[in-house]
Structure 1
Amino acid sequence: MALLRDLLADLDDLLEPGRYRDFCPNGLQVPPPAGLDAEIRTVVTAVSADRQALGEAVALGGDLVIVHHGLFWDGDPRALEPPLAERLRLVLGAGLALASYHLPLDGHPTVGNNALLAEALGASSAPWAGSGDPAIGVEARFEEPLPLAALASRVAVVTGREPLVLPGEAERPVARLGIVSGAAAGLLPRAAEDGLDALLTGEPREPTRGLALELGVHAICAGHHATETRGVQALGARLARHHGVSHRFVDTGNPV
């Protein structure tokens, strides 16, 4: 058991959310009835705070839910629409605390989605300046360049799904791979500018196929959800290790 304030302080120190200009509030989004003095025994992590994930968190006896995609986003209507209202009723009715970490969790060099993807693919990695300031993506490097088909097979194993592969220059092996999880297909021109061989992200855009061919850079799109499952699990594992809480991960299996 630990106090909510101590868990959040640990995560804030680790992720430094104040460094990022984000599209959503990072950190605590919904406080529990006892506020920061709430006692936390079970932490549940999930990629997104949708009703399925929140319902499973309640069923698992969660006290704190940590997600990558939280409840509130810039540009959303100011009045609650029915889906968000139902999610809030579920959280508030169960007395859950809910915290979200978005770009800070993409960009962290050890527990970030992108660094963990690079590690799982068998590559070393460093922040990729072309992905923003601070960088949210990484440049992954392989000791031996991989044929595109071999890299795609590794991605399938790591993400648990077959990626959409949009080839660039024919027969171009991959030694330098940009990894930016989620929806970062728009970075393909920057990947070409920086001399990368391929870009791994979650979602494609309609122009992605043509740009890959024209720029000569491979695009591998492995699913927004599937590329962002590792970071929240790493946070939950950290809290369990450092604070003695129980951790459960909820995977909703979102195919997008």
Structure 2
Amino acid sequence: MTATVTRDEIVRRVEQWLEPGRFQDYCPNGLQVEGKSEVRRIVSGVTASQAFIEAAMDADADLLLVHHGYFWKGEDQRIQGMKKRRLQTLLAHDISLLAYHLPLDAHAELGNNRQLADRLGIQNAKPLQPEGGLVWMGELSSAMPVEGFSGLLEERLARRPLHVGEGRPEIRRVAWCTGAAQGFITQAIEAGADAFISGEISEPTVHTARECGIHYFSAGHHATERYGVQAVGERLAQELAIEHRFIDIDNPV
């Protein structure tokens, strides 16, 4: 039987797991919009877009759990246009918005980096830095040809990656960081990775990959970050006996 739990208990659980206080982030992590105090159904997704909010409303959500929420540093603080419409919809329907950015990338079990490794079958996956961090590294169970690895990414993420760079004919050691993390390619090179995966690519990434002898795969910001919120949502459903549903609003970036 589905239970109802307090919003505050959900926030407490997630903050206990993700420890957002350890991070200096580009946005506030945690409860960004306060809705009803009792929660029966959580809907998770990558980004709190208007399309996602409306799909969650159709699913009768009480609380939204996302990776990309609101109130980013440097953005226009005025509540106008798109921002007004999003917030107005949430407040009018008394729906809470719970958002975690870097804490959800970094978590050793529930985070985007760990979840991506699990889906790709990467073994011995761990952060490059002993104290934890955003760039991870691990190994495939056996070396794969470059095209084979590209095919694995496409199969597991349902998106054809962009491959640039030159390196060894087979890939075994893989480094990665989900989302807009192409600038971390130098850390992957220094660690001796055969390949580096991130969500997005920029112009300098191409030259770095070509000149430094590493295969780089841009696998999609959205595509690489679908999994952390699902893992957190499922953990909440298991521990609190509430409903959880993931809604994927596709994004080609």
For the aligned pair, the TM-score class normalised by the smaller chain equals over 0.9
- Which residue number corresponds to residue 116 of structure 1? 115
- Which residue number corresponds to residue 238 of structure 2? 241
- Which residue number corresponds to residue 12 of structure 2? 9
1:208 aligns to 2:205 (yes or no): yes
Q: Tell me the number of residue pairs that the alignment of Structure 1 and Structure 2 aligns.
A: 249
8 A Cα contact 1:8 1:27, kept in partner: yes
- Which residue number corresponds to residue 149 of structure 1? 147
TM-score when scaled to structure 2?
A: 0.95
SS of the counterpart of 2:203?
coil
8 A Cα contact 2:168 2:194, kept in partner: no
In the TM superposition, residue 126 of structure 1 has moved relative to its aligned partner by 0.8
Identical-residue share of aligned pairs (%): 37
In 1, the alpha carbon distance for the partners of 2:166 and 2:182 equals 14
Alignment of 1:144-223 (within 5 A): 144-169=142-167, 171=169, 173-223=170-220
The amino acid that maps onto 1:243 is L
The amino acid that maps onto 1:60 is A
8 A Cα contact 2:67 2:104, kept in partner: yes
The amino acid that maps onto 1:7 is I
- Which residue number corresponds to residue 54 of structure 2? 55
Q: 2:251 aligns with which of 240, 248, 254?
A: 254
Where does structure 1 differ by over 6 angstroms across 4 or more consecutive aligned residues?
none
TM-score when scaled to structure 1?
A: 0.94
In 1, the alpha carbon distance for the partners of 2:139 and 2:14 equals 28
In 2, the alpha carbon distance for the partners of 1:127 and 1:170 equals 23
- Which residue number corresponds to residue 21 of structure 1? 24
In 2, the alpha carbon distance for the partners of 1:140 and 1:113 equals 15
SS of the counterpart of 1:225?
helix
RMSD after superposition = 1.3
In 1, the alpha carbon distance for the partners of 2:187 and 2:80 equals 37
Residues 213-240 of structure 1: CA deviation (Å, up to 9, x unaligned): 1010111011100000000011110111
In the TM superposition, residue 93 of structure 1 has moved relative to its aligned partner by 0.8
8 A Cα contact 1:49 1:70, kept in partner: yes
8 A Cα contact 1:20 1:134, kept in partner: no
Consecutive unaligned residues in structure 2, runs of 5 or more: none
Residues 127-150 of structure 1: CA deviation (Å, up to 9, x unaligned): 1229xx740231121232222111
8 A Cα contact 1:162 1:222, kept in partner: yes
- Which residue number corresponds to residue 82 of structure 1? 81
The amino acid that maps onto 2:41 is T
